[in-house]
């Protein structure tokens, strides 16, 4: 079903078909720590000369422990932060052209946050939350918004009566589906997933990941998946990049990374996270499926 997975070495070579959906070039971002005035403002490099490419319709997993800078990358990519230097390119176009965060950019890159409870406005009904993006970009005339919202809710596998309920009436997994629906509402090309399943129960994690996979198959979305759990990355990603203290230390095919990690840090990471045998079928065994939530059609 998927296109052949390019080896890390191949990608740098000429890509005659199209530019990568998302590319980061020498991205650097540091933060001030401690008191700002009267000198002695030390800076911490959260992201240090990071470069990545993600081909359209594929998933890149970004792994690392807390503090490695992966969340900062997420924020840089969706422009909640501006980099100190370096570029973010979507479809080969530098996004920094024009204003800091132009509205059109929202149609290119969207984000799903880790904590679905915090990312949904508790006072808003689900309907309004999902419709927010549609309204902001005027993607549908007013009388069609409702139909579109119903489409989206169906797409993420939630019943239609969810629309008139409030976030607190749902479970964590369901809230995450709402968040995904909201992000899809503006029809982005790239979806940044900042640890989308870390806050969920293990059994639910699989469902959400399957949903995401199905959506990708259906729409050709490109994913930047940030996670700290190698198992998740293993099953789901076409390529993996490992981050540590702001830098990418290793990247490549997930199974190769797992079986033959090069960098000592990656080795440590792999050893710390036992991954179920990828050749054994089970809860994790099937990558794309029609069981569980969401149908491809």
User: Which residues in this chain contact another protein in the complex, by CB under 8 A?
Assistant: 29, 31-33, 35-38, 71, 78-82, 101, 103-107, 109-111, 113-115, 117-123, 132-133, 136-137, 168, 179, 182-183, 186, 199
Cβ nearer to another protein, comparing 188 with 294:
188
- With contact defined as beta carbons under 8 Å apart, do 219 and 26 qualify? no
CB of 166 to another protein, least distance (A): 10
Nearer to another protein, 3 or 31 (CB): 31
Cα distance between residue 217 and residue 297, in whole Å: 10
For another protein, give the closer residue by CB, 182 or 239.
Answer: 182
Nearer to another protein among residue 82 and residue 295 (C-beta):
82
Helix, strand, coil shares of the chain, percent, nearest 5, are 35, 20, 40
CB atoms within 10 A of CB 42: 10
* Beta-bridge mates of residue 255: none
CA–CA distance, 87 with 85 (Å, rounded to integer): 7
- Which residue in this structure is represented by tokens 């594929």? 58
Instruction: Give min distance, CB of 50 to another protein, in A.
Output: 17
How many angstroms separate the CA atoms of 86 and 4, rounded? Answer: 29
| Smallest distance from another protein to CB 280, Å | 32
Query: Shortest gap between Cβ of 12 and another protein (angstroms)?
Result: 30
Nearest to another protein of 89, 106 (CB atom):
106
Site of tokens 């119903």:
150
Nearest distance in Å: CB 253, another protein: 29
């Amino acid at each position: 079903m998927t296109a052949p997975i390019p080896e890390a070495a191949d990608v740098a070579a000429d890509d005659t078909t199209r530019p990568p959906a998302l590319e980061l070039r020498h991205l650097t971002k540091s933060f001030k720590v401690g008191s700002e005035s009267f000198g002695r403002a030390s800076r911490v490099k959260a992201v240090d000369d990071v470069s990545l490419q993600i081909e359209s319709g594929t998933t890149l997993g970004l792994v690392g422990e807390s503090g490695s800078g992966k969340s900062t990358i997420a924020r840089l990519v969706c422009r909640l932060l501006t980099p100190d230097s370096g570029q973010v390119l979507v479809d080969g176009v530098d996004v920094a052209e024009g204003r800091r965060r132009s509205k059109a950019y929202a149609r290119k890159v969207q984000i799903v946050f880790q904590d679905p409870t915090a990312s949904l406005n508790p006072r808003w009904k689900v309907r309004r939350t999902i419709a927010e993006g549609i309204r902001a970009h005027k993607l549908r005339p007013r009388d069609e918004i409702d139909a579109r919202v119903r489409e989206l809710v169906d797409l993420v596998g939630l019943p239609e009566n969810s629309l008139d309920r409030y976030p607190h009436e749902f479970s964590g997994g369901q809230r995450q589906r709402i968040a995904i629906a909201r992000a899809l509402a503006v029809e982005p090309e790239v979806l940044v997933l900042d640890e989308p399943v870390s806050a969920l129960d293990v059994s639910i994690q699989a469902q959400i990941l399957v949903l995401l996979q199905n959506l990708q198959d259906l729409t050709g979305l490109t994913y930047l998946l940030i996670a700290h759990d190698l198992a998740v990355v293993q099953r789901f990603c076409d390529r993996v990049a490992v981050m540590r203290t702001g830098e990418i230390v290793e990247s490549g095919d997930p199974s190769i990374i797992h079986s033959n990690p090069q960098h000592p840090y990656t080795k440590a990471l792999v050893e710390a996270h036992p991954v179920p045998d990828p050749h054994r079928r089970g809860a994790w065994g099937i990558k794309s499926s029609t069981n569980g939530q969401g149908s491809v059609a």
